[in-house]
Structure 1
């Protein structure tokens, strides 16, 4: 007879799909969405959106040789 005294449930994690990453990229490019609104739209938590934006942020160089940061879905998928 085994006894399980664990009172916490095992967490299950799932990654964002490619479609969700594409939607996130479009919302980030538009600049009109807050992270909480993006999360609500995608059906995930705000920290998930924050981590994904951080993970997929890349440094780009424009035609005037100025650096800027941009979220790119392909780099977030790694």
Structure 2
């Protein structure tokens, strides 16, 4: 289930994935490391029309710390 989160860089839709349905590897934009298939992680995208085209897969910790590293809306 998607939830909407308010952050200093805007409003984001966020979905927690348990990894059980994933058979693909992704690259986390926060740390540039691989998210292996089956690994729990977060999918997030801006909550505006067309924002779903900017969906990104993140490690949970990287998502929570992304503003500390300078990531966010400007990253995309």
What is the TM-score when the length of structure 2 is the normalising length? 0.25
Higher strand share: 2
Q: Which has the larger radius of gyration?
A: 1
Higher helix share: 1
What is the TM-score when the length of structure 1 is the normalising length? 0.24
